[in-house]
Amino acid sequence: MTQIYVNRSPAGKNRMLLPAILFLVVAAVCFGLWMKSLSSSPEKETPSIEEEEELENVAETAVPLPSLSEIEERIQEGELTRARQEAQTRLQGLTDPVEIMKTEKLLGDLQTRMVFSRAPMEEKTEHIVQAGDTLGELAKTYGTTKELIAEINGIDNNMIRVGKSLQILTGTFTGTVDKSRNEMELRLNDQFFKRYTVGTGADSSTPIGDYAITLRLRNPVWYRPDGQSFAYGHPENLLGTHYLKLNTPGIGLHGTWEPESVGSQSSAGCVRFQNEMIEELYKILPEGTSIRIVD
């Protein structure tokens, strides 16, 4: 019987081996890519102290600012110190110009009320009158005006008795006149106090620079540039009720009998205020107060 031998060609084995090799190669490539992605992924780090503080600041700014109605309610309830603090917080957190203007108006009026009364303020101190004390000497000692001491403490005749407790403002005022806006911002201990509308020199004639108040006058005489003088109350006297002279020739802060001129560039070079406002400033700004004038 004839035996038949079947020759098994290696081609069949190759056909089975090739897909297996390809599968292993693809798997190895995928595994390598996966490991690379793991090694390149950034690890989560513990925040630094600076980052933690920044996150805390962001969280704090997310707290809603006190509203104007809430602050006004504090004022009505007599909580003036708290109302002032909340108004300052609100002002610092605002960016909208309209809301800033409204808040400045409320804060300015509130702080003026507090300064001219015995309302407690961190800028005030208590002084017990000693033998020999006078309002003038106390004003020099504490860097304020005798008019303000009298106003705060209800003194009408400049007489003070030994042992009397006086509230005295010890903070430092500074003012910045902005000619382009016809405004003066007044600051107390470098914090916003009040904003005033002013009149400045026609054709930008008010000189820019850093100045200081050197003389304070009530019912001032006006000396015209040609040398002629006009007494207080004379129709030609342009200085209003009060005058605060600056240490530059012919320039000062003063009132006016032409209130419609305030808010524009219309003076001969001085800075004009409504009479009511210059009277307020006369009481609170001592000689030596710094006044900056900018374009």
Say yes or no: domain 173-294 is CATH 2.60.120.380: no
Structure confidence at residue 1 as a pLDDT band (50, 70, 90): very low
Residue 166 near residue 138, CB atoms below 8 Å: yes
* pTM strictly above 0.85: no
Structure confidence at residue 39 as a pLDDT band (50, 70, 90): low
Do the bridges between strand 165-169 and strand 124-128 make them parallel or antiparallel, or are there none, so unpaired?
antiparallel
* Residue entry with tokens 């599968």: 23
Q: Which of 6-15, 19-28, 49-58, 245-254 has the lowest mean pLDDT?
A: 6-15
| pLDDT value of residue 268 | 85
Q: What is the pLDDT of residues 153-176, one digit of tens each?
A: 999 988 999 999 999 999 999 999
Structure tokens given for 13: 């084995």
Q: What is the pLDDT of residues 199-255, one digit of tens each?
A: 999 999 999 999 999 999 999 999 888 889 999 989 899 999 999 999 999 899 999
| pLDDT value of residue 225 | 82
Mean pLDDT score of the chain: 87
| Residue 71: pLDDT over 50 | yes
| pLDDT value of residue 266 | 87
Do the bridges between strand 173-178 and strand 183-188 make them parallel or antiparallel, or are there none, so unpaired?
antiparallel
Element holding 73 (H helix, E strand): helix 68-76
| pLDDT value of residue 8 | 46
Question: Under 8 Å CB-to-CB from 256, ≥6 apart: which residues?
Answer: 199, 238, 239, 240, 262, 272, 273, 274, 275
Q: Which of 30-44, 47-61, 263-277 has the lowest mean pLDDT?
A: 30-44
Question: Under 8 Å CB-to-CB from 268, ≥6 apart: which residues?
Answer: 201, 202, 205, 225, 238
Q: What is the pLDDT of residues 84-117, one digit of tens each?
A: 999 999 999 999 999 999 999 999 999 999 999 9
Which whole-number Å values give the CA distances from 223 to 131, 251, 271, in the listed order? 41, 12, 16
Structure confidence at residue 44 as a pLDDT band (50, 70, 90): very low
| pLDDT value of residue 45 | 54
| Residue 129: pLDDT over 60 | yes
Q: Angle between the 275-284 and 146-153 helix axes, to the nearest 10 degrees?
A: 100
Q: Which of 57-66, 145-154, 198-207 has the lowest mean pLDDT?
A: 57-66
Q: What percent of the chain has pLDDT over 70?
A: 79
Residue range 180-189: mean pLDDT, rounded:
97
DSSP 237-282: --STTEEEEESSTT-EEE--S-GGGTTSEEESSSEE--HHHHHHHH
Which CATH number among 3.30.460.20, 3.30.360.10, 3.10.350.10, 3.40.30.10 corresponds to the domain 124-169? Answer: 3.10.350.10
Closest by Cα among 239, 221, 241, 225 to 282: 241
Strand partners, 271: 253
Residue range 9-26: mean pLDDT, rounded:
54
Question: Under 8 Å CB-to-CB from 291, ≥6 apart: which residues?
Answer: 174, 175, 176, 177, 210, 211, 212, 213, 246, 253
Structure confidence at residue 9 as a pLDDT band (50, 70, 90): very low
- Residue of higher predicted confidence among 292 and 23: 292
Domain residue extents for the chain: 69-115, 124-169, 173-294
Q: How many residues does the chain have?
A: 295
Q: Is 194 helix (H, G, I), strand (E, B) or coil?
A: strand
Closest by Cα among 177, 192, 131, 157 to 290: 177
C-alpha atoms less than 13 angstroms from C-alpha of 47 in its C-beta half-sphere:
8
DSSP 152-185: HHT-SSS---TT-EEEEE---EEEEEETTTTEEE
